[in-house]
């Protein structure tokens, strides 16, 4: 593990995603335990995709082997595909329950994800309610992120304003192509989603973006060292007071 500061953005390079996941899960566990000791909730922002899987596996291990309780945890997920019911195998609701929630003791009522089946006319109100729920919970204490090949955080594709809030968004073709194998072809990939906005994400008190593998090296370099631009929404993290990048050696290869 090594640390550096590039463009004022702390970057920690780990030997493997598993090593990074262990370090990040330890930070989550410390927050959860300290809030529990104070009789308070820990509000966590969660992500989907392959990137956080080692992290979720470590949280499950901490729960099962070391007794970490999630009874005082409230979660908000970044996004959800439009048009997918909860039971769809590629919905993020299904993903989160399969890979985390079904294996820990988080109360069902403390789990929050945008809905993929809201009628189009009701989407603005649904997004506004999601924003209000985050505020009512006290704001997100710790947000985790992955990064897409377009540089997106959540589904904030190129052109997403820094102050954007939770909203419907059209998915970039690169994003859809990357999802195509899971959907058995690009024709089955939704064309839109609901996502937390960049401003919603940046409101989190602490943020860690994870990036693994050579395929993410170029966009990781842009996010960390490139200009701050709405063309790479992850670059906005450079201006956050407590945002960090956790990367493996392959993703760090161009830094």
Burial of 125 (C-beta count, 10 Å sphere; 0-12/13-18/19+)? exposed
Per-residue pLDDT at 8 exceeds 70: no
Cα 213 to Cα 249: distance, rounded to the nearest angstrom: 8
| The two three-digit tokens of residue 246, written as one number | 């956790």
Q: Is residue 3 within 8 Å of 10, Cβ to Cβ?
A: yes
Residue with tokens 């993410």: 216
pLDDT tens column, 171-226? 999 999 999 999 999 999 999 999 999 999 999 999 999 999 999 999 999 999 99
pLDDT range class, residue 9, cuts 50, 70, 90: confident
Mean pLDDT of 134-160: 96
Active site residues: 157
Q: Which are the contacts of 210, defined by CB distance < 8 A and separation ≥ 6?
A: 17, 20, 21, 24, 51, 52, 55, 144, 145, 146, 147, 245, 246, 247
DSSP structure class, residue 166: S
Which pLDDT does position 3 carry in this prediction?
Answer: 57
pLDDT at site 14: 98
Question: How much is the average pLDDT of 120-138?
Answer: 97
**Segment 44-72 mean pLDDT:** 97
pTM for the predicted model, two decimal places = 0.94
- 4 or 104, higher pLDDT: 104
Which pair of structure tokens corresponds to residue 185? 């072809």
What is the per-residue pLDDT across 85-121, written as a single tens digit (0 to 9) for each?
A: 999 999 999 999 999 999 999 999 999 999 999 999 9
Q: What is the mean pLDDT of the chain?
A: 95
Class of domain 11-252: alpha beta
Give percent above pLDDT 70 in the chain: 97
Report, as an integer, the average pLDDT of 231-246. 97
pLDDT, residue 1, reads 66
Instruction: Supply the DSSP string of 106-120, one letter for each residue.
Output: --GGGEE---S---G
**Domain coordinates in residue numbering, the chain:** 11-252
DSSP-based three-state secondary structure for 43: strand
At residue 2, does pLDDT exceed 60?
A: no
CB 206, CB 242: distance < 8 Å = yes
């Amino acid at each position: 593990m090594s640390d550096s500061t590039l463009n004022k953005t702390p970057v920690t390079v780990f030997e493997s995603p598993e090593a990074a996941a262990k370090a990040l899960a330890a930070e989550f566990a410390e927050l959860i335990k300290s809030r529990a000791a104070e009789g308070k909730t820990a509000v966590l922002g969660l992500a989907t995709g392959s990137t956080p899987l080692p992290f979720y596996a470590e949280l499950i291990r901490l729960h099962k082997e070391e007794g970490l309780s999630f009874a005082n945890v409230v979660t908000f997920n970044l996004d959800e595909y439009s048009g997918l019911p909860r039971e769809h195998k590629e919905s993020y609701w299904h993903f989160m329950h399969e890979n985390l929630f079904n294996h820990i003791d988080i109360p069902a009522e403390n789990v929050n994800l945008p809905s993929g089946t809201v009628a189009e006319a009701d989407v603005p109100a649904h997004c506004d309610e999601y924003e209000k729920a985050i505020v009512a919970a006290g704001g997100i204490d710790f947000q985790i992120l992955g990064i897409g090949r377009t540089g997106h955080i959540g589904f904030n594709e190129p052109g997403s304003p820094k102050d954007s809030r939770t909203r419907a968004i059209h998915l970039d073709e690169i994003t859809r192509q990357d999802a195509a194998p899971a959907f058995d072809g690009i024709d089955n990939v939704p064309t839109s989603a609901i996502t937390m906005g960049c401003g919603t994400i940046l409101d989190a008190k602490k943020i860690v973006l994870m990036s693994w593998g050579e395929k993410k090296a170029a966009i990781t370099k842009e996010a960390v060292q490139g200009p701050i631009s709405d063309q790479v929404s992850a670059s906005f993290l450079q201006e956050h007071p407590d945002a960090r990048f956790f990367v493996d050696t392959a993703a760090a290869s161009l830094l």
